[in-house]
Amino acid sequence: MTDQDRQERSAVPSIAQLLCRYLVQRSAEADAPEMGPLTGEVELYQASELLAVSPQAALLDAWEAAVQLAGGEKGLGLQVRQFRPPGEWSRLVCRAEPRCLVPCCIGVFPQLVRDPAPLLTADVEQWTKPALWCCEMPDVEEWGRERLGDGRLAETLFAVGMLRVGGQFDASQTLLNAIERRGPASWAGLLANERAALCWFRGDLAQAEHIWTHHPQAQSGVVLLNRGLTALCHRSAQAVEFLDRAAAAWPEGHAWHHLARMYQVLAETL
């Protein structure tokens, strides 16, 4: 590759930059409706219909919160790249209801934010509404109970996340309660994050915010992103700070880094 090729490639904007530009552009249009549509080199259409999500890539992102808050894979007791999820995982990744704001927690992946347009409505209830889509996953629930019986708590926790994304909140809560009774003390922060995330998905913003604010690892990238979401919903100036620090906790090529930066730009436009 020549120096000219490298310069041309470096000049191509990343997906994160395109999303940020899109949010800023749409925000400007909302503030000035009498103006014609803005144009640029790249125009985004309904990306959710065009971009397929890789279940394998989503799987790695879905373990990120657990790995960070447990102190790495050793603390989690599981090698993520060797983990085999339930068969329902691929279907869940492809069919899960798109979300506006997603917390960093087990079973959740940034690609759930498939269309950023609803974020421009500045409608907090729209951003944080409980999932309307519900996916019956009896095999996942049974898979989780089997792992629990075998003492494979990290895998059971993944079932908690899948059930939560699928709208099976009661089943998710039941498994989470069982893990909390048996999990090691070192998992206190990890399990607190999962409790808060379940509150978030159920639409209980106040309780989720309380748990994340008093979280023992409140300065970690995972919890900073989640605190940034609640601050964003309150249109608090702290949202920008939390999300900026959260993004800095991941390398620039990481999917959670890109999502944190997109939320940061949104916070700056409110």
Sorted by where each begins, the domain ranges of the chain are 52-269
Q: What is the pLDDT of residues 85-126, one digit of tens each?
A: 999 999 999 988 888 899 999 999 999 988 777 777 666 666
For residue 196, what are its two tokens?
A: 């808060």
Are 195 and 176 contacting, i.e. CB atoms less than 8 angstroms apart? yes
Cα separation, 125 vs 135, whole angstroms: 22
CA angle in degrees (0–180, nearest 5) for 170-172-177: 95
Are 92 and 166 contacting, i.e. CB atoms less than 8 angstroms apart? yes
Mean per-residue pLDDT, 251-267: 94
For residue 39, what are its two tokens?
A: 């144009």
Cα separation, 178 vs 17, whole angstroms: 42
The radius of gyration of the chain from alpha carbons, rounded to an integer in Å, stands at: 19
Cα separation, 212 vs 144, whole angstroms: 26
Find the Cα–Cα–Cα–Cα dihedral 140, 144, 149, 150, rounded to 10°.
100
For residue 225, what are its two tokens?
A: 């992103």
What was the pLDDT predicted at 30? 39
Residue 19 has pLDDT above 70, yes or no: no
Residue 26 has pLDDT above 80, yes or no: no
Mean per-residue pLDDT, 216-225: 98
Cα separation, 35 vs 58, whole angstroms: 39
Comparing CA positions, the residue from 124, 134, 204, 196 lying closest to residue 171 is 134
Residue 3 has pLDDT above 70, yes or no: no
